[in-house]
Structure formats: C-alpha cells, structure tokens
Structure 1
Amino acid sequence: MEYIKEINILDAVIHVLDNNSDEPILNEFALDLNEETYDFILKHVQRCLKDEELKYAFFNEDRNIIKEISQEFLSGENNILNVSKELAKQLFILMRSKGNIPSCDLLIVSFSTEYGLFLGIFKMDYMKNYIHTIENVDSKIGIDIIPQIIGLPTTSSKIQKCAFIKIVNKDNAYDLMVIDKQNKNRNAEDYGSNYFIDNYLGCRIIDNERDVTKKFVKVTEKWTSNNLKENASEQEKIRSKVKKVLKEQETIDINKFADEVFKENEETKKNFEIFAKEQGVPESIEIDKDWIEKKFKRIRLKIDQDMDLYISDQAYNDINRFEIKRNGDGSINMILKHVMNYIEK
C-alpha cells in the first residue's frame, strides 16, 4: 500500500451544505491558508491517510461527474474554486434527493505528495459544541452554557467520509482512496447508507495489500480460537508461526503456509485451507510490511477471559524477560522474568 508521508497543502475551499436551505452556500474565495488554518487542514489530511479504514477504489466505467470534474482540476484544465463548487453542488443534489444525509461543510483540498497531486474531498459533519454566553440582567452578570450545533470536527476527531483522488490512467493501482464509515446506531438517519461511494463518488472498493494482510491475520486468529479452544500450547505454536512468516517473508502462499504449520496432519490442514478460502483469503498474499510493523509493535493477550497482558514485541521475544513453557496437557505457563519495577493501576 502507498503510505503517503510528504504532504504539501496547495489550496482549499469550504462550502456549506445545509438541508434547511434550498441551495448550497458556495464560497467565492479559496481559504486563506494562514498557519492555523493550514495546520488544521494538514492534520485532517494526515489523520485520514493513516486511518485503518482507508480503502482503494476505482471509478465505475459509466459516466461519472465526480470523476470528470476532479480530472479537470488534476490535469490543469480548471481551477480549485470552480471544481469545488461543482463537487459541492453534486453532493447537495444527492442530499436533497435522499433526504436522510446530514448537513455538513464540504472541504475540498488540493495537495502534492511523493506520489503526485491529489484532490481531497472531506464531508465535515457537524459536531455539537458548547459555548458560554454573558448577559447583563438587572445590573448583574449572568453566565450560561448553550449548545452550538455547527462546530466542525476537531483535528482529534475522525472524519466519517472523505476521498483522495489522483490522476486516472490505465496503470493505476487505484483511482482514489476512500473512507466511508457507517453509523452503527440503528436509530441514526443515515444508518446503512452507501450513498457516498455508490451515488456520489461512483466507485467500487478493491482490496489492497493492507486489506489482504489484515484479513489473513484475522482469519488465522479466528480459526485458531475456534478450533483449538482448550489447547493453548497449539494455539501459541500457530500464532508464533504466523508472526514469523509475516515478519520474514514478502508473500504468503496459503497452501505452503498450511503445509508448514500442520505438517502431516492432512485433515487439519484441509480444514484450515477451506476455512481461509470461505473467508475470502486469496491463495497468494503480498504482505504489507508497514502495517505488520505497526501491528506487532505491541502485543495484547487476552488470557482465560479474566486477564489482559500488553507486551512489546521486543519483550515478548526476549527469553530473559518473557518465556512460554508447555505443560504437556495443552496448557502453558507464561513467565515474566526479572521484574524490577511495576505500577498498579
């Protein structure tokens, strides 16, 4: 997966899309990228690009207004102000037709990276903030707290829907990267809606190296937990093998992996291969080494339902600090060694 590290904000425009209005409120000026505004936008871009739910996507083959508009800008045929207005109009039309999409500000950002120029689209859903009011009542000071329902997401908040679009060509590994988080609250108005991907962007999600690597880790853990419930010793063998393969190899062949882990136990090997295939794991996996490094930097163990252990990868693999001993009955002992200091929380 392309992990973008070099980001230079070039231009940004924000528009107001209010469901209570008949028309979108379109900005006639690009934002003044002073130090504070630049930092606000940059942090949102960085946070979204690092989000675990960021997906690769291709634009659909049929006529696509968002694709056409964005490509006009990225190819230098139109400016950010005109393009951002049209992007805002298209989302507002969708909001009015659907009737269940929350009001928002739409932030359009152009930025350069080590992978070229991108156009970012951020649906900035409003957050309820609170401010104080000061009044003079009968020569006395009265201070109250009132809600403010049009606050923009702070830089520590996660954006629910955004897209990063690049110049489209036939050699692309993807046309755009997308975050489209669904509201898990079934009482929410837009629960279960895929309008952002399907109707607005007009694209289809594809798996990248990180998605496939994550799926492999998740599926092997699920199989291990389900099939070796009362055998911690065998569980540990498989988990250690998974970590070793992910760290040392560039690709994984599921059949070869199963051969190495289960050796002569043909029935168990077949069971794992069938389960992995049913769960959508491909036969060959290109490992996302950046994600693996981050994933195993810190290991969390849930032990017998009532104990949690957080341990760094370095400590986990240091025989002088941590050791696993097999008892011969399927159980294991986890031994912390040479503890010089600890804090009770």
Structure 2
Amino acid sequence: MEYINEVNINEAIVHILDVNSDEPILNEYPLELNEEVHKFVLRHVERALKDEELKYALFNSGRGIIKEVTQEYLNGHCTIIEASQEIARTLFGIMKTNSSIPSCDLMAVAFSTEFGPMLGLFKMDYVKNYTHKIDFVDNRMSIKIIPQATGLPVSAQKIQKCAFIIPMTEEANYHLMVIDKQGKKGEGDEYGAKYFLSSFLGCTLINSKRDLTKSFLNAAENWTRANAVNDAVKAENIRSAIKKSLKEEDHIDIRELSSNIFEDEYEKQAFVAFVQSQGIEEKLPVDKQWVEKKLKRIRLKIDKEIDLYIDADTYHDSRKFEIIRNGDGSINMVIKHVMNYIEK
C-alpha cells in the first residue's frame, strides 16, 4: 500500500444528485477554493486516503465510462467540468434505477501527490443537520429548531464511498483506490449491493500488502479466541509470537510460523488450514508501516469485565507491566510503580 503524505489540491467541483428530480443539477464552475473551502476539501481527501477501508482496484477490461472519462481528464484532454458532469450523469442514472440509493452531492477533486496526479470522486451522502428559524407571532419573537436534510458530511466524518483514480500505465499494479463501505444490515438494498464498484466504477478489488497483513492478523486472533478458551497462557504465547513475527519479518511463512508456535502436530495443521480458509496464501508479505501503527497500542478485554489500553512499549517493559503465569492456565497482569492515575 502506497501511503500518501503529500496532497496538493488543484481544483474541485460539486454536482447535486437528487433522486427526486428528473435530472442532476450540474455545476458549470469549479469551486472557489478559498481558505475554508480548501480546508474542507483537503481534510476529506486526507482522511479518506488514511482510511483503513481504502483498497486497491483495477478497472475491468473493455470500455467503461468512468475509466475513459477519468483518463481523458488525467491526460489533459478535457476539463474537470466536462469530466465531472459526465461522471455525475452516470452515477445519477444508476441512482434512478434503485430507489434505495440516497440522494447526494458528487464532489470531484483533482490533486497531486508524491506519486503523481489523482482524481478523487466522493459520494457525499446527506446528513441531517439542525438550524434555528425566527418568526414573529403577534409581535412576539418565536424561535424554532428545524431540520435540514441536505447537509454535507463535515470534514471530521468518514465518507462511505469514494475513489481515487490515477493515470493508467501498462506497468501499474492498480488503477484506482476505493472505499465502498456497506451500511448496517436492514438499512436497505443499496448498502448490500456493490453498485458503486460494479455498476458505477466498473472495477474489481485486489488485495494489497496491507489487506493481506490485516486479514492474517484477524484470522490469527479469531483462531486464538476459539482454540485458547480459558487458557490465558496459551493465548498470550500465540499472540506474542505472531506480533513478534510481524514486527521482525518482511514476509510470513504461515506453515513455518505455525511450527514455531505449536508443539502439537494437529494444532500446527489446524492453524494453517484455518488461516488458508480465510483466503490467505501460505506465504504473504508484511506491511511494516501498518503493523507499526496497529501494534503501537494494545487493547485488552479481560474476563469480559476489564478494558485495558496500554502502549506497546509499556506492555513489554517489565518495570511497568508484567504477566505472571500461575501454572494453571491463568495469568496475573501486574501494573507496577504507579505514581499517578485519574478516573475518566
């Protein structure tokens, strides 16, 4: 996964896609990027680029409107107004065929990074905001609170669906990065359907090094929870060995790791089989930057009664924190030399 640190906004534009209308409301001018608007756009771009759900994708073979229009723009053959209007028409047409897709604004953002130019497409679902309304009734002031149903997500909120497209080259390993979060069950067909990926973008997700590392850690944790029940010593040994390998190795050999962790032959095979059943191959690369961030803090749920957040360095510092094995499968977690604490 390429972690982007430099984002320079070049231009942006917004179109209104109201499913209650017959046509989209298409903007004919780019946004005026004054200080406040620039900050709003930049924060959404930066937040989305750092989102854990951001994934690599390839455009499907053959023709595709989004693929063709975005490449025309990125190669300088059309303006952001022309490109974004065609993109907005495409998304609006899809929305009109599915009543469960909510109205939104489509924001297109052109920006440059240390890896080159990108075009961001954001489906800005409306959020309900509230404002006041002042009336005069019988010469007396009446102030009411009324809802506004077309508010845009503030920069602190995560966008549910967006894409970042790059110029396509023969040697490129990916064509775009995508966020396509699904809502909670029961919220409607829109969130269960992959319309954003398939019908709109016309792309297929591919696994990045971060995806593989994240999937492996999740699979290992799920196996540990199921196979080290009421055996805290065993669970601690498994988790510590896996974290040590992720921190020290650039590649993980699942079979070799399993042999180093388990003595029982059945458990060795069972662990490997379970990890592979989660779609993870026997050998995988490790995303060291993601591991460093993920394992920087440790969150423990102890006997379903105690939550403990602890810095990784403190967790491994025997002067401050220690795990003592009691010999019966249980452990004591000891916090040492406490000089100050507060209640929250």
Q: TM-score with structure 1 length normalisation?
A: 0.98
The CA deviation at 1:185 is: 4.1
Distance 1:3 1:88 in 2: 28
Instruction: String of CA shifts for 1:139-183, please: whole Å, max 9, x gaps.
Output: 211111111111000011111110000011222121100011111
SS at match of 2:43: helix
- Give 1:266-285 correspondences, 5 Å limit: 266-285=265-284
Assess if the C-alpha contact under 8 Å between 2:100 and 2:188 holds in 1. Answer: no
SS at match of 1:184: coil
The CA deviation at 1:96 is: 1.3
Assess if the C-alpha contact under 8 Å between 2:105 and 2:124 holds in 1. Answer: yes
Amino acid at match of 2:255: N
Instruction: String of CA shifts for 1:213-269, please: whole Å, max 9, x gaps.
Output: 11111111111111111211111111111111111111111111112112x422210
- Give 1:50-89 correspondences, 5 Å limit: 50-89=50-89
Instruction: String of CA shifts for 1:309-332, please: whole Å, max 9, x gaps.
Output: 111011101010011111111111
Greater CA drift, 30-39 or 275-284: 275-284
- Runs of 4 or more, structure 1, over 3 Å off, are none
Instruction: String of CA shifts for 1:4-35, please: whole Å, max 9, x gaps.
Output: 11000001010011111111110110111111
Residue 148 of structure 2 corresponds to: 148
Distance 1:135 1:89 in 2: 39
Establish whether residue 299 from structure 1 lines up as the match of residue 304 from structure 2. Answer: no
Q: TM-score with structure 2 length normalisation?
A: 0.98
Assess if the C-alpha contact under 8 Å between 2:98 and 2:190 holds in 1. Answer: no
SS at match of 1:198: helix
SS at match of 2:192: coil
Assess if the C-alpha contact under 8 Å between 2:252 and 2:285 holds in 1. Answer: yes
Distance 1:344 1:131 in 2: 36
Instruction: String of CA shifts for 1:266-300, please: whole Å, max 9, x gaps.
Output: 22101111111111121111111111111111101
Distance 1:98 1:227 in 2: 44
Residue 15 of structure 2 corresponds to: 15
Distance 2:108 2:173 in 1: 23
Residue 313 of structure 1 corresponds to: 312
Establish whether residue 341 from structure 1 lines up as the match of residue 301 from structure 2. Answer: no
Establish whether residue 164 from structure 1 lines up as the match of residue 184 from structure 2. Answer: no
Residue 30 of structure 1 corresponds to: 30
Amino acid at match of 1:148: Q
- Give 1:102-113 correspondences, 5 Å limit: 102-113=102-113
Instruction: String of CA shifts for 1:97-123, please: whole Å, max 9, x gaps.
Output: 223211111000000000110000000
Residue 210 of structure 2 corresponds to: 210
Distance 1:148 1:270 in 2: 57
Amino acid at match of 2:203: C
Amino acid at match of 2:261: V
Distance 2:19 2:280 in 1: 42
Distance 2:232 2:293 in 1: 25
The CA deviation at 1:47 is: 0.6
Distance 1:267 1:95 in 2: 52
Q: Which runs of 5+ in 2 are unaligned?
A: none
Distance 1:222 1:96 in 2: 41
Residue 133 of structure 1 corresponds to: 133
Amino acid at match of 2:135: E
SS at match of 1:214: helix
- Counting matched residue pairs gives 344
Amino acid at match of 1:160: Q
Residue 6 of structure 1 corresponds to: 6
Establish whether residue 181 from structure 1 lines up as the match of residue 181 from structure 2. Answer: yes
Assess if the C-alpha contact under 8 Å between 2:43 and 2:155 holds in 1. Answer: yes
Q: Which runs of 5+ in 1 are unaligned?
A: none
Distance 2:250 2:303 in 1: 33
Could you tell me the percent identity over the aligned residues? 55
